[in-house]
């Protein structure tokens, strides 16, 4: 678990940084990105084991970022964070190849479980 590298992508910087801290306390390395471009750069350079991606961001949308990441590394598992009451966007994300989705605000234990599932594969 301590070898895992996670990339967290969300435009709310406080959210991702706090979440990264919490994951670190649990032994998971997490780097952050605040927009789609940063995220793509990060994926190319740092080659994380998994990406946690917010679906609704200004600039490149979550779906677009996901498509771009898939191009770089098709095997890279992506967990989407949706903020919507309906699961429509989550389902749509799954269509484009997301591993799973979680609704904000997330439960950190649930997140870790999903990460374990995804990377463990």
Partner 1 sequence: MANPDLEATAFVGKITAGVTHELQNVLAIIKESSGLMDDLMAFSEEIPAKLKDRFHQANRSIDNQVLRGVQLLRNLNGLAHSTDDSMIDIDLFETIKQLIELTHRFAKTRQITLSVEKPGTQIQIQSSCIQFQMAMFHAFECCMTALLPNGNIVISLKKISETVLIILHCDGKFKSEAKLDDAANISNWVVMTKMLILLGGTAEMNPVKDNLVLSLSDK
Partner 2 sequence: MVKNLKKRIFHRLGLSQVEDQSPNRYRVMRRNMIVLMYMVTFIPLFLMAVIYFYQYRFSLKQEIITPLRLMTHKTAHSMELYLEERLSNIRALGASYSYKELSDQKTLDRLYRIFKKELSGLVDFGIIDKAGNQVAYSGPYMLLGKNYAKQKWFHEVSIRGVYISDVFMGYRGFPHIAIAVQNFDSDGNAWFLRATIDTKKLDNIISAMGLLPRDDAFLVNKKGILQTSSKFYGNVLETYPLEIRYVLGTTIREKKDSQGQNVIFSSASFLHQDFFLVSIKPTQSAMKSWTMLRSNMLFVFVGGTILIIIAIIRTSNYLIKRIKEADEKREKAFRELENSQKLSSIGRLAAGVAHEINNPMAIINQKAGLMQDLIQLDANFTDKTRFLALTNSILQSVERCKKITHRLLGFARRMEVLYEKLNLNDLIIEVLGFLEKEAQLREVKIELSLADSLPEISSDIGQLEQVFLNIISNAFAAVQDGGQLKIMTWDENDEKVGVSIEDNGSGMDEETLSHIFEPFFTTKTGYGTGLGLPITHGIINKLGGTIEVKSKIGIGTTFIVYLRKNKLKMEE
Coil, helix or strand at residue 50: strand
Is position 25 an interface residue for partner 2 (rule: CB under 8 A)?
A: no
Residue 52 binding result from partner 2, partner 1, none, given CB thresholds of 5 to 8 Å by partner type = none
Nearest to 10 by CA among 31, 40, 27, 32: 32
Nearer to partner 2, 27 or 59 (CB): 59
| Interaction between residue 59 and partner 2 (CB under 8 A) | yes
Q: How far is CA 105 from the centre of its chain?
A: 14
By CB under 8 A, is residue 59 in contact with partner 1? no
Interface residue with partner 1, options 41, 47, 67, 84 (CB under 8 A): 84
Give the phi and the psi of residue 92 in degrees, each rounded to 5. Answer: -65, -40
Looking at 15, 70, 97, 119, which residue binds partner 1 (CB under 8 A)?
15
| 19 half-sphere exposure, CB direction, 13 A CA radius | 27
Paired sense of beta strands 50-54 and 100-103, if any: unpaired
Name which position in 75, 85, 120, 121 contacts partner 1 (CB under 8 A): 85
């Amino acid at each position: 678990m301590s070898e895992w590298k996670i990339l967290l992508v969300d435009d709310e910087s406080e959210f991702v940084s706090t979440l990264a801290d919490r994951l670190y306390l649990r032994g998971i390395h997490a780097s952050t990105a605040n927009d789609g471009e940063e995220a793509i750069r990060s994926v190319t350079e740092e080659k994380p084991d998994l990406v946690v991606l917010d679906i609704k961001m200004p600039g490149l949308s979550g779906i677009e970022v996901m498509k771009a990441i898939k191009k770089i590394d098709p095997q890279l598992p992506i967990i989407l964070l949706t903020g919507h009451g309906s699961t429509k966007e989550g389902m749509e994300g799954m269509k484009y190849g997301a591993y799973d989705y979680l609704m904000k605000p997330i439960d950190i234990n649930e997140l870790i479980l999903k990460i374990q599932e995804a990377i463990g594969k």
